[in-house]
Structure formats: C-alpha cells, structure tokens
Amino acid sequence: MPLTFDVDGVVLDIEGTTSATGFVVDVLYPYSRSRFGALLAERGDDPEVRRAVAQVRELLGEPDADPVRVERALNEWLDGDVKATPLKTLQGLIWSEGFGRGDLVSHFYDDVVPVLRRWHSGGVRLHVYSSGSVAAQRAWFASSPDGDLLPLVDGLYDTENAGPKQEPESYRRIAAATGTEAGRLLFLSDRPGELDAARAAGWHAVGIRRAGEPYFEQGVGDHAQAGSFDEIDIIGGGTSSGSGASTSGSST
C-alpha cells in the first residue's frame, strides 16, 4: 500500500534520502579535503571564504586560529560527518567548481528522478532542504547522471538561509518562504531528528529508510516510512502554494 498525501509541496533532504551517503563520503568528501588547503591559502580574501573562516574560529572558540588550524578543524568535521555550516559553505565552493569543470557528477537513487519528474509534472512544488550549502545543492541537481534536474526544483534551503535542520523554526521559515501552509508540505528525510522538527512545525513527514544508509538500522521512530520514493503518492499539487518565488530561500 503506498503512502498517500494531499499536499502542494515536497521538501527533499539529499544525503540518505535522494542520494547515497556513501557517495557523498567516498567521492565528495575527499574531493573537498584535498582542496581546503589551497582554498584557504589562495582565496582567503574572498568574502565568502573570509566569513566561513570567521565562523570556524567562532565555533572553535579560537579567534586567532591560523589557516593550518582551520584546515585541521574542517578535516575533523569531515571525519565525523559533522554538518557545520562553514564546512558546508567551503565544501559548496569547492564542489560547485568541481561539478562545473566536469570533475564530479552527482548521485541519485534509481527510484528518485522518475518520481520527481512525475510529481513535478503533476503540479507539486519541489524544494530541497539539506545541510549541503545552496551552492552545493544547485550544482548537485544541475550535474546529475540524468542531466540538469534544476528545472524540477522551486527553492533551495540550507542551514544558512533556513537554520538548523533539527529545529521546528527552520521549517516554519521554509513554509513562509514558499508561501505554502505547513499542513500542505511533506518533508522526506532519513534522520528522525529532522522528521521530528518538521512534524513539530505542522508538516507531514516521511522517513526514507534505505538499506546500507547510516540511519537504516536505527529507524525513523514513529514516523511513516518508505523504502523508496515509489511508495509515496501525492494527490495534491499547486492549489494553495502562493507565488512560488522563494522569498528568503534561494530559487533555482
């Protein structure tokens, strides 16, 4: 029996939900790890790099941390898959250039793209909410094995423009930005803490449990769950979604 939702918008987590954590950790993380040093050394004056470095120093509580210390912190966060915002900002810079150069092609589970196309053509608005930065999300969707998927996506949200993924307030912010009532939004994620936060904000939430993903064994608590996007039917689509132009989110 499919899970059926009457909603106007679906908000997608990436890692563990649309795409394999293993791919992110095995392909994207080493790509950024090998380039942090050069980025910090050669582009420290770039405003985005400078702001991210200031955030690293603040998180460390070390206002004078030098580039070597900053790089070590970034790599330690990588090792623990810590979703620190400045790490994600710097990774996003590196990855978007890598995708742009053709060094990288993203990954989506086989069930995902056909279902996203079906929902989109049925009038369902698709948004992304990931710890990966908006720049990384944009590159990820633009450089998929199935070509450019960005036309399917209305808005991109990260921990910078929406806030932490385990706080209900972030989901309220996204609902407001999309112009969609909370009860007309469905969030898909692999992490129970994120599903809890979405539900606390009045959203529908489904835990995506894929074998081999880090949260597969732990499960998704008392949330509805699906093993693939094929198990989810959307019967709504577009009647109460507002203007569609993201106000605080980043439209594609």
Q: Does 236 bind Mg ion (CB under 5 A)?
A: no
- Nearest-angstrom CA–CA distance, 184 and 202: 9
16/86 with CB nearer ligand L4RZE5RM: 16
Q: Which of residues 76-135 bind ligand L4RZE5RM (CB under 6 A)?
A: 83, 88, 91, 130-132
Smallest gap from Cβ 129 to Mg ion, in A, equals 10
49/198 with CB nearer Mg ion: 198
Q: Give the tokens for residue 99.
A: 């995708």
Q: Does 15 bind ligand L4RZE5RM (CB under 6 A)?
A: yes
Q: Give the tokens for residue 223.
A: 């949330």
Strand partners, 102: none
Q: Does 190 bind Mg ion (CB under 5 A)?
A: yes
Q: Give the tokens for residue 234.
A: 């959307």
Widest Cα–Cα separation across the chain:
57
156/175 with CB nearer ligand L4RZE5RM: 156
Q: Give the tokens for residue 108.
A: 């989506």
- In this structure, the number of other CB atoms found within 10 A of the CB of residue 151 comes to 11
Strands 204-208 and 185-189: parallel
- Binding ligand L4RZE5RM (rule: CB under 6 A), the pick from 90, 136, 197, 201 is 136
Smallest gap from Cβ 247 to ligand L4RZE5RM, in A, equals 22
Does residue 211 contact residue 218 with C-beta atoms inside 8 Å? no
Q: Give the tokens for residue 250.
A: 């980043």
- Nearest-angstrom CA–CA distance, 175 and 196: 16
Smallest gap from Cβ 130 to ligand L4RZE5RM, in A, equals 3
Does residue 250 contact residue 20 with C-beta atoms inside 8 Å? no
13/154 with CB nearer ligand L4RZE5RM: 13
Smallest gap from Cβ 107 to ligand L4RZE5RM, in A, equals 10
Contacts with ligand L4RZE5RM by CB under 6 A lie at 13-16, 24, 28, 83, 88, 91, 130-132, 136-137, 140, 165
Which residues of the shown chain bind Mg ion in the complex (CB under 5 A)? Answer: 13, 15-16, 190
